[in-house]
Amino acid sequence: MKNCPVRRLIQSKQGYHHGDLRNALVSAGLKLLEQEGHSEFTLRDLARRVGVSAAAPYAHFADKRALLAAIAAAGFIRLRAALEAAIRSDSNLADRFLHLGSAYVRFGMDHPALYKLMFASEELAAQHGEYLELQAAGEAAFGALTALLEQMQRRGLLRAGDPEADGLSVWAHVHGLTSLIITGCLACVGEPAPQPAEVVSLSLQLLLNGLRGPARAEQIA
């Protein structure tokens, strides 16, 4: 993005050292998160890797959190792409639902440090009004889910309901699965340790089953 000629001119004028430090910092941060398992890195180290002084990032980001938010936004864009790819599969709608859920969890398992950062940063985005880019990226990823749910409801594959409200339940479920798996909590309980893939599969089936039934089950006295 931002390939407009004006920007190219500015870049070709060349900030005499780097050209495009902003993007360099973001992609270096992404790479660091992929390599290292933990989601914390220092701004100084990142600047060092990019070959720039410790103060240089402050010309492009207000503070460390702003840089983290930019990286998290890139993560949400990738997540959305992964989810839409999973939905585009040519199978039936119910399978698409299951594939969507699996793809969500797999994204977290494949990029645990990035995933953790994404939700740590979403917290900042929610508290402060800033980080609009991050917020928009997050909502777009959520939209991929609600669109599918609405389609399934229209075709009678799910009980009628508010797609957005159901979407929140589904999101909470897959987010919880992802979180427990990548923090290792799932491996902590049970003898022997449960297989993530099986837990996810059974769990999504359970959720889908609930979405087929009536919204409010009859009270049992």
Site for a second copy, rule CB under 8 A? 92-94, 119-120, 122-123, 125-127, 135, 138-139, 142, 157, 164-166, 168-169, 171-177, 179-180, 183-190, 194, 199, 202-203, 205-217, 219-221
CB of 31 to DNA, least distance (A): 17
- Residue 97 touches which of DNA, a second copy, none (Cβ within 5-8 Å per kind): none
Q: 2, 8, 44, 128: which one contacts DNA (CB under 7 A)?
A: 44
Nearer to DNA, 67 or 118 (CB): 67
Continuous H helices in the chain: 5-13, 21-35, 43-50, 64-87, 93-110, 112-127, 132-154, 163-183, 185-188, 196-212
Task: Give the burial string for 178-191 (b: 16+ CB within 10 Å, else e).
Answer: bbbbbeeebeeeee
**Nearest CA among 121, 127, 114, 113 for reference residue 79:** 114
Q: 2, 36, 53, 128: which one contacts DNA (CB under 7 A)?
A: 53
72 interacts with DNA by CB under 7 A? no
Distance CA 33, CA 187 (A): 22
Distance CA 26, CA 30 (A): 6
CB of 183 to DNA, least distance (A): 20
User: Tokens standing for 73?
Assistant: 């936004």
- Residue 173 touches which of a second copy, DNA, none (Cβ within 5-8 Å per kind): a second copy
- Residue 164 touches which of a second copy, DNA, none (Cβ within 5-8 Å per kind): a second copy
Distance CA 85, CA 106 (A): 13
CB of 101 to a second copy, least distance (A): 11
Environment class of 133 (CB within 10 Å of its CB; exposed 0-12, middle 13-18, buried 19+): middle
28 interacts with DNA by CB under 7 A? no
CB of 167 to DNA, least distance (A): 34
